[in-house]
């Protein structure tokens, strides 16, 4: 037997499965890269903002130097936007970094973290990586059951993850439900409110989670530049919490966890209201386009508040994998969700109108 390295809980981790890269699908299925449509990673189909490109070109001149490890300028831009002091902000290498930092800072072996069934895969990874116990609370209508999550808290619970909207199901929790939850969670349990898709919420769904951070010292809100801001490849996100939390995250983060190009691009994107509005508009139009097609095809889907839709493509547990493979052969990359316990479903990221149309045409052929 070869030597086994590392603790059991690390060996037990199932690696994160991301969306397949376009180049890989082109190689595997002998397709032209230019013909491939990728609707698999909830990226921004409009690409990155021009304003961010310009900022990056300027930042390129300084790449021989380390980034500003404290992200002074980006924090200043966030301070101006969210009206919180700079020491309430933690920058992350993507918001995944913030989620992982929380697991490292607030959990240890012998303690537990709570998250919902069908919720973002990184919660499970982050909890397992520190040897803590996961309490997975059954979903209600594919979303979080906050009453059940509150009831699941045990003496050793130290961390709770809530995604709003949730990935991969797109479900949304109204503000009042979250507020009631926060008011009842014990103050020594840290709540991570993961708002990676917040910028896609409709006007009637929007709420002020940052004002909750001012009231609840055990709350951290995480956001990202990967989705509506169109900067997924740069890896930049942030968390907002009171200094008792940020101080701990700051102790364990890598000193230069956000690179200088990412910082420069994020400042530009944050202030590019036009790009953000356009992203939200393209998304809501794409949502209508996809869901109309699902209705025509009589396919069940979960109403989504994010930039993706979970759709049931068959009634047997091989359906998701089968339809996914058939779509790949036609150059359409979507996301299978069997690893989430949803083998009959696929998650489709909302694309540009022509990308959505290509996907819908391929889906019709595959299901015919």
Ligand X SMILES: Cc1ncc(COP(=O)(O)O)c(C=O)c1O
Please, which residue, 41 or 111, has the CB nearer to ligand X?
A: 41
Segment interacting with ligand X (CB under 6 A) among 67-75, 210-218, 224-232, 320-328: 224-232
Phi, psi torsion values for 198, nearest 5 degrees: -55, -40
Member of 44, 157, 224, 279 binding ligand X (CB under 6 A)? 224
Phi, psi of 135 (to 5 degrees): -110, 110
**According to the binding rule CB under 6 A, does residue 121 interact with ligand X?**
no
- The minimum distance between CB 287 and ligand X, in angstroms, equals 16
301: helix, strand or coil: strand
Q: How far apart are CA 354 and CA 346, in angstroms?
A: 20
Residues 138/145, Cβ–Cβ less than 8 Å = yes
Phi-psi region of 245 (alpha: psi -120 to 50; beta: other; left: phi over 0): alpha
Identity of the residue, 107 or 196, whose beta carbon is nearer to ligand X in the bound complex: 196
Q: How far is the CB of 264 from ligand X (least distance, A)?
A: 17
Decide: helix, strand or coil at residue 319. Answer: helix
Q: Any contact of residue 257 with ligand X (CB under 6 A)?
A: no
Distance CA 220, CA 97 (A): 13
Residues 188, 194, 199: CA angle, nearest 5 degrees: 145
Q: What is the closest distance, in whole angstroms, from the C-beta atom of residue 364 to ligand X in the complex?
A: 28
Instruction: Give the DSSP H or E segment for 321.
Output: helix 319-329
Write down the least CB distance from residue 347 to ligand X, Å: 10
Note whether 226 binds ligand X by CB under 6 A: yes
Residue 237 makes contact with ligand X by CB under 6 A = yes
- Residue (158 or 227) nearer to ligand X, CB: 227
Q: How far is the CB of 243 from ligand X (least distance, A)?
A: 23
Examine residue 304 and tell whether it contacts ligand X (CB under 6 A).
no
Stretch that binds ligand X, among 91-99, 261-269, 313-321, 351-359 (CB under 6 A): 91-99
Distance CA 89, CA 242 (A): 8
| Number of neighbouring beta carbons within 10 Å of residue 61 | 8
Site map (CB under 6 A) of ligand X, residues 165-204, x = contact:
--x--------------------------x-x--------
Least distance in Å: CB of 245 to ligand X? Answer: 18
> Chain-centre distance of CA 175, in angstroms?
19
Q: Where is 80: in which H helix or E strand?
A: helix 72-82
Part of the chain binding ligand X (CB under 6 A), chosen from 90-98, 142-150, 271-279, 328-336: 90-98
Among 20, 42, 105, 351, which residue interacts with ligand X (rule: CB under 6 A)? 42
CA within 13 Å, CB half, 240: 22
Rounded least distance, CB 168 to ligand X, Å: 8
Residue 229, C-beta contacts closer than 8 angstroms, at least 6 positions apart: 44, 49, 52, 199, 266, 269, 270, 272, 275, 276, 279
Question: Rounded to an integer, what is the distance from CA 312 to the centroid of its chain?
Answer: 21
Check binding of 232 to ligand X (CB under 6 A): yes
The reply to whether 49 sits near ligand X by the rule CB under 6 A is no
Nearer to ligand X, 94 or 286 (CB): 94
Q: State how far the alpha carbon of 203 is from the alpha carbons of 124, 163, 208, 209, 304, in Å.
A: 31, 19, 12, 15, 15
Q: Does 127 bind ligand X (CB under 6 A)?
A: no
Q: Which stretch binds ligand X (CB under 6 A): 30-38, 89-97, 131-139, 176-184?
A: 89-97
How many residues touch ligand X under the rule CB under 6 A: the total is: 13
By residue count, the chain amounts to 368
Q: How far is the CB of 162 from ligand X (least distance, A)?
A: 10
**For residues 265 and 268, what is the distance between their CA atoms, to the nearest angstrom?**
5
Exactly one of 94, 230, 239, 336 binds ligand X (CB under 6 A); that residue is 94
Inter-axis angle of helices 273-296 and 353-367, nearest 10: 20
Catalog residues that contact ligand X under the rule CB under 6 A: 42, 94-96, 120, 163, 167, 194, 196, 224, 226, 232, 237
């Amino acid at each position: 037997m070869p030597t086994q390295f590392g603790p059991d809980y690390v060996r037990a981790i199932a690696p994160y499965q991301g969306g397949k890269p376009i180049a890989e699908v082109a190689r595997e299925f002998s397709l032209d890269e230019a013909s491939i449509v990728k609707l698999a990673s909830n990226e921004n189909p409009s690409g990155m903002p021009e304003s961010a490109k310009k900022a990056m070109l300027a930042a390129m001149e300084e790449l021989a130097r380390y980034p500003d490890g404290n992200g002074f300028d980006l924090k200043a831009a966030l301070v101006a936007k969210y009206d919180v002091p700079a020491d309430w902000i933690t920058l992350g290498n993507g918001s995944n970094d913030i989620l992982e930092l929380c697991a490292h800072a607030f959990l240890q072996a012998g303690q537990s973290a709570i998250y919902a069934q069908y919720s973002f895969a990184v919660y499970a990874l982050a909890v397992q990586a520190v040897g803590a116990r996961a309490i997975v609370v059954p979903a209600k209508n594919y979303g979080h059951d906050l009453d059940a999550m509150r009831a699941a808290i045990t003496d050793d619970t130290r961390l709770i993850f809530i995604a709003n909207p949730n990935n991969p199901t797109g479900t949304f929790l109204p503000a009042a439900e979250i507020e009631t939850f926060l008011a009842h969670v014990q103050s020594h349990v840290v709540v991570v409110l993961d708002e990676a898709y917040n910028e896609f919420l409709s006007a009637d769904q929007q709420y002020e989670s940052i004002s909750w951070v001012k009231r609840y010292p055990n709350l951290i809100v995480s956001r990202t530049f990967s989705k509506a801001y169109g900067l997924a490849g740069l890896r930049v996100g942030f968390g907002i919490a009171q200094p008792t939390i940020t101080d701990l995250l700051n102790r364990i983060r890598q000193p230069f966890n956000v690179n200088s190009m990412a910082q420069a691009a994020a400042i530009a994107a944050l202030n590019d209201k036009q790009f953000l509005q356009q992203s939200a508009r393209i998304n809501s139009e794409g949502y209508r386009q996809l869901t109309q097609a699902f209705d025509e095809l009589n396919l069940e889907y979960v109403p989504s508040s994010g930039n993706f839709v979970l759709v049931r493509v068959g009634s047997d547990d091989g359906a998701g994998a089968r339809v996914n493979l058939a779509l790949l052969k036609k150059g359409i990359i979507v996301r299978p969700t069997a690893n989430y316990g949803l083998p009959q479903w696929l998650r489709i990221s909302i694309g540009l109108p022509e990308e959505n149309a290509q996907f819908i045409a391929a889906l019709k052929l595959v299901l015919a």
